[in-house]
DNA sequence: TGTTGTAACTTTGTATCACAAAGGAATCAA
DNA sequence: TTGATTCCTTTGTGATACAAAGTTACAACA
């Protein structure tokens, strides 16, 4: 269980943990063929500049690969998860699950009961 | 289902989402009586200054309450989750669970199989 | 053939944030 | 009483998120 030696929270890969990037990676992991910049932008509800910046971070972390075809008006950037990226994402999700269950244990509720434990119960 | 109108990621309360603060809040939610600064510090693996700063953020978000008794060397700060904080944390966990399951769905694995899907299977 | 428009990003500027080093503040030990 | 110790806070710095402005190339029209 060496994964628990370090505090669990340090396992949460920062490059993925940021909400916008979590959205990006989640969306990408379902698309083996990759996704265009514009599609990703609208599906994740991000601005151009914002998406651009986040993609740069993810690319520098070798989590995604950018394939830019053409230039100027006709350019098209295809964003794809790398094998390493997918692996990192799996690890991230595993850590996330442990964090989540740790919290639910501490609260002594099981995930099944979570919605009803909320103040304004969600339909 | 108004909670799904906004992109799911925006539901991840920033003041809680940061890993160190997630650690703090998770640790606190199990302690109705609250926890001392020093205990929290060592259990979350944070430095003095760092914990101080994070507690300030959480206090400003009304997620925790700080009870400082005494001054100087003998002072003792007791950190407690507020009712609102507990509520916010539950909502956060609910969102987190949705994010997690959304990702697992996209990957077409169920959470049970997650450990074995990892590159270096965790014992 | 310019020149205006537009699509698809990138870069830049600003405001916020995380972190740890340095700084109180009160007490204790010699 | 002065130097060490405990328990935090503040400050300084480097990183980050965001959107406004910029860039590049093509397209359509006069």
pLDDT bucket at B3, cuts 50 / 70 / 90: very low
| Cβ-nearest to B26 among A30, A90, A102 | A102
Tell me which DSSP letter residue B119 carries. Answer: S
Q: How far is CA B84 from CA A83, B47, B68, in A?
A: 41, 26, 20
Overall domain count for chain A: 1
Strand C and B47 CB separated by under 7 Å: yes
Query: Which CATH number characterizes residue B20's domain?
Result: 1.10.10.10
pLDDT tens for each residue of A74-116: 899 999 999 999 999 999 999 999 999 999 999 999 888 988 8
List all residues 6 or more positions away from B35 whose beta carbon is below 8 Å from its beta carbon: B27, B28, B43, B78, B79, B80
DSSP B58-100: HHHTTSEEEEEES-GGG-EEEEEE-HHHHHHHHHHHHHHHHHH
Q: Is residue B7 assigned to a domain? A: no
Q: Is residue B2 assigned to a domain? A: no
Q: Is residue A66 assigned to a domain? A: yes
Q: Is residue A2 assigned to a domain? A: no
- As a whole number, mean pLDDT of residues A1-7 equals 45
Query: Which domain does B89 fall in, by range?
Result: 12-109
**Given an 8 Å threshold on Cβ–Cβ distance, is B9 in contact with A44?**
yes
Cβ-Cβ contacts under 8 Å, B19 against chain A: 9-10, 12, 14, 17
Q: Is residue A106 assigned to a domain? A: no
Q: Is residue A56 assigned to a domain? A: yes
């Amino acid at each position: 269980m060496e994964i628990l030696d370090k505090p669990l929270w340090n396992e949460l890969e920062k490059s993925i943990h940021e909400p916008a990037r979590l959205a990006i990676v989640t969306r990408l992991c379902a698309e083996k063929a990759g996704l265009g910049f514009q599609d990703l932008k609208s599906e994740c509800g991000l601005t151009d500049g914002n998406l651009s910046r986040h993609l740069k971070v993810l690319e520098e972390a070798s989590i995604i690969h950018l394939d830019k075809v053409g230039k100027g008006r006709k350019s098209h950037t295809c964003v794809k998860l790398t094998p390493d990226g997918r692996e990192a994402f799996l690890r991230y999700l595993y850590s996330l699950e442990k964090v989540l269950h740790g919290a639910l244990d501490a609260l002594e509720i099981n995930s099944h009961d979570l919605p009803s434990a909320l103040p304004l119960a969600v339909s």
